[in-house]
Amino acid sequence: GNSVTQMEGPVTLSEEAFLTINCTYTATGYPSLFWYVQYPGEGLQLLLKATKADDKGSNKGFEATYRKETTSFHLEKGSVQVSDSAVYFCALRETSGSRLTFGEGTQLTVNP
Amino acid sequence: DGGITQSPKYLFRKEGQNVTLSCEQNLNHDAMYWYRQDPGQGLRLIYYSQIVNDFQKGDIAEGYSVSREKKESFPLTVTSAQKNPTAFYLCASQSGGRSYNEQFFGPGTRLTVL
């Protein structure tokens, strides 16, 4: 079956530090890949997505590239802010599927 | 504004009582989903519905029930058979069946069973 593995958290960084959150996946076919963000006490919001190999999704300074050869979709940001503190979820959906498969989430805390 | 509403935001119930969580969307989406989130864990799919009057079990459907009588509404009932119902419940919707279509999430309902 499909699965998504995220790096274990929590991750704590200082403001303006570089962020990487690793995400690898197992799936058949050519899934679409997503990063969602959840701020405390809220629902999830789509951060970015990529639908085919070598696509780069980007939003709000965050980027992730769909790497089929390494089955990865790592999230990066060059300079984090305190407001980026949240839980980040990597997810995939198969081409023919209607369900999202989520990773376990990575808690990010950015200190001033 | 289009979106998904869940009510109430906080819900308290006594053990052994059934409780229904509301989820409404005005995005004209065909598909709707219910997830459960426990502290420090990812999302687990409870039920989903791709069209009105049809729904499928997710990974943890035991102790839950749903209905989909209207496109806009997908209520979730947490029954007394659910052994550990205290959790954060998230509803989501999606347009169409394309794999790249995003799911939109509601703000969630935090259920506490006393």
- For A50-70, write each residue's pLDDT tens digit: 999 999 999 999 999 999 999
> Distance (Å, rounded) from C-alpha A7 to C-alpha B31?
30
Interface of B with A (CB under 8 A): 4, 6, 31, 33, 40-43, 45, 48, 50, 58, 90, 92, 94, 97, 99-100, 102-108
pLDDT at B2: 72
CB A46 within 8 A of CB A102: no
pLDDT for A8 = 81
Q: Is the pLDDT of residue B98 over 70?
A: no
How far B17 CA sits from the closest chain A CA (Å)? 25
Span B41-77, pLDDT tens digits: 789 999 999 999 999 999 999 999 999 999 999 999 9
Across chain A, what does the average pLDDT equal?
93
Rounded to the nearest 5 degrees, what angle is found at the Cα of A36, between the Cα atoms of B103 and A66? 100
Q: What is the mean pLDDT of residues B78-92?
A: 93
Provide the pLDDT confidence category of residue A106 given band limits of 50, 70 and 90.
very high
Answer yes or no: do A44 and B90 touch at CB < 8 A.
yes
Distance, in angstroms, between B106 CA and closest chain A CA?
6
- For residue A2, the model assigns a pLDDT of 87
Residue A95 has pLDDT above 80, yes or no: no
Per residue in A71-93, pLDDT (tens digit) is 999 999 999 999 999 999 999 98
pLDDT digits (tens, 9 = 90+) for A36-52: 999 988 899 999 999 99
In this complex, the residue of A43, A89, A94 whose CB is nearest that of residue B107 is A43
In B, minimum Cα distance to A29 occurs at B99
Closest-CA distance, A3 to chain B, in angstroms, reads: 12
Q: Closest by alpha carbon to B22, among B93, B59, B77, B104?
A: B77
Distance from CA of A80 to the nearest CA of B (A): 22
Task: End-to-end CA distance of chain B: give it in Å, rounded.
Answer: 35
Please say if the pLDDT value at position B11 is more than 90. Answer: yes
Cross-chain residue pair A104–B41, CB shorter than 8 Å = yes
Please tell me the distance from the alpha carbon of residue B26 to that of residue A77, in angstroms, as a whole number: 33
Q: Which residue has the higher pLDDT, A14 or B39?
A: A14
Q: Tell me the count of A-B CB pairs closer than 8 A.
A: 58
Please give the pLDDT value at position B100. Answer: 66
Whether B105 sits inside 8 A of A45 (CB atoms) is: yes
Amino acid at site A1: G
